[in-house]
Structure 1
Amino acid sequence: MPEYVEYEHTPHTESEFIQQIVEEISNSKLYRNPLHVATYPVGVNSRMETLEKLLDIESNDVRMIGISGIGGIGKTTIAKAIYNSISYEFKAKSFLENVRERSKTHIGIIHLQEELLSNISQNKILKIETLLRQCDCFASGSRIIMTTRYKSLLVKRNGLSTYDYGVKELNEYEATKLFRNHAFLDNKLYEDYLELEKKAIHYAKGLPLALKVMGADLCGKTINEWKDALDY
């Protein structure tokens, strides 16, 4: 049977009718605005599987997962991917970026808090003067995901289940795949570059950001330029 939407009042114009439809879709679970994760999200799916188990969204507790690791290891990429994967399960959600830089001042913290509340509330002009510090402000079933370089920030609090997920470097297969995606046009590796590729991957030490930057920088360059860049 077809479904019908009942509105509070009958729209007088076509533009009003269209606007009501847009609002209904925007407020429904069918509406998604996924975050950009990565052009080549190598190794992300396997790491998401572990995170999904820790998040256990069927559980009714309030749970925080810390995605920890050194800079460039892919914490934000993984956080965006898991957000896209599970956000539709929640009525209210928010993704805040560059928190470390933006929270260096009191005003920056206030703006972050206002952005958070604005994202999870229909009131888009919320203003606050204090920060949320207590765990009892979160509804049952809430999930908080935080990326951090420091595990010490994952402080356990009453009423909050805290878990740490330490991101591991890409293994050799994953590192090679990611590097080739960025370093070679059409992902085509020439045999003359094989040893140089191995050296570049060794330098990157499994860090996705390093592999991406090095690959993009070397892409399209001659073998001699590769040797100069890698001090071969």
Structure 2
Amino acid sequence: RHEWKFIQKIVEEVSNKLNHRYLSGAKYPVGIHSRVQYLTDLLSIETEAVCIVGICGMGGIGKTTIAKAFFNEQFHKFDGCSFVTSVREIAKGPKGLIGLQEQLLFDILRKKKNLNINSVDRGINVIRDRLHNRKVLIVLDDVDQLDQLNSLVRERDWFGPGSRIVITTRDVHLLKVLVVDSIYTAQKLYRGESLQLFSWHAFREGHPKEDYVHLSEAIVDYLGGIPLALQVLGSFLFDKRSIPEWESALEKLKRIPDNQIQEQLKISFDALEDDELKDIFLDIACFFIGSGEGDVVRILDGCGFSSKIAIRVLTDKGLLTINEMNKLTMHDLLRDMGREIVRKESPKELGKRSRLWRHEDALHVLTKHTVRAKQMNFC
């Protein structure tokens, strides 16, 4: 009888591991290995303490790709594992936080029966009771609210010794509140990596074709090391086989940014809690990139904003950076996303837009008397 129970346990463990399939990763994993190795070092895989690491960064920077590659390398070392994708979206669904708890438990326990989760508090109790003696690997992808973390991984003693938890988010503030062990800020690709990734998508080989080297380098420089952007634009240009088509695409990209890239980046903007934060982001994107933080604070506070706090929030959410010279900077794609939001207020009539950052546009509106009944900012 005892032998049968022992055999059944072995069968369950083997079945549990076999049920976990490798996650689909990057088609062309350029630059992934070194970044996964860095994450592995942060998580100190061999130690027995429960360790939590957050991966933060702007949209499209590769947070999910890094987390998936790490998961695929490590999941076989654990008693159970769960990669919860799109936490933000699941939390908005009909089951909300309970749906997240159920997915986490099903992934690790491989069964839905006898969970009886009818409230978030009940779900927390089940997670603690069922997982406190299991060495688990958990990845929570695209977290955007603290209650998501509190309902899933608030306390380390909910999980067994040696457990590892990875959280990806655009908001570093959430990681600070949870008091994670380390924060890994995902970095953009180096120029050589960018050119290689772009080339794999545009040419299906690791370098540009001879006649397209200059244009490829111009596109890569504009996209600034963002993997999502390199993938989208490279794939778009794959079947474009004339230099004029490429030149036209680059010119259009600079005037009107690609929709797919913009929609990914705009998620962070849409998640800003109030209109004042959105206004300050748009003001900085249109007028104040490269300006000193103190000067910008004085100008915006003079307009009735609480800009010091807003700048900190925008920085935490990966929408803004303050460099070593204390000047405000942001990625060109984020800048263009902000300006595209303003352009879409009135694509054809400049006078109906809330902000004009090009001097010739402002001059046209003022001399042609085309301002409409709307507050407008010039710079």
| TM-score in terms of structure 1 length | 0.83
Deviation readout 1:146-195 (Å, 9 max, x if unpaired)? 001111011355xx752100011000111011000000144563322111
- Please list the CA deviations of residues 185-217 of structure 1 after superposition, one character each: whole Å capped at 9, or x if unmatched: 445633221111011101211000000000000
Task: Name the residue aligned to 1:26.
Answer: 15
> Where does 1:1-232 land on structure 2 (aligned, <5 Å)?
25-28=14-17, 33-104=21-92, 107-125=95-113, 126-128=115-117, 129-130=119-120, 131-132=123-124, 133=150, 134-135=154-155, 136-155=157-176, 162-187=181-206, 189-221=208-240, 222-231=242-251
Q: Which has the higher contact order (CA 8 A, sep 6+)?
A: 1
Q: Show structure 2 runs of 5+ residues with no match.
A: 125-149, 253-379
2-structure distance, mates of 1:66, 1:226: 38
CA distance in 1, matches of 2:41, 2:206: 33
Contact 1:200 1:230 in 2 (8 A): yes
Q: Is the 8 A contact 1:93 1:119 kept in 2?
A: yes
- TM-score (structure 2 length as normaliser): 0.52
- Give the Cα–Cα distance (whole angstroms) in 2 for the partners of residues 108 and 41 of structure 1: 33
The one-letter amino acid paired with 1:172 is: R
Following the alignment from structure 1 to structure 2, what is the Cα–Cα distance between the partners of residues 187 and 154? 36
Deviates more, 1:50-59 or 1:104-113: 104-113
Cα distance change of structure 1 residues 65 and 106 upon mapping to structure 2, 3 Å threshold:
farther
Contact kept in structure 1, 2:56 and 2:184, CA below 8 Å: yes
Two-structure CA RMSD over aligned residues (Å): 2.7
Count the aligned residue pairs. 215
Seen in structure 2, the aligned counterparts of structure 1 residues 60 and 200 have a Cα distance that, compared at 3 Å, is same
SS at match of 1:93: strand
How far apart, CA to CA, are the structure 1 residues paired with 2:234 and 2:11?
42
Q: Which has the higher helix share?
A: 2
Structure whose CA Rg is larger? 2
CA distance in 2, matches of 1:60, 1:156: 23
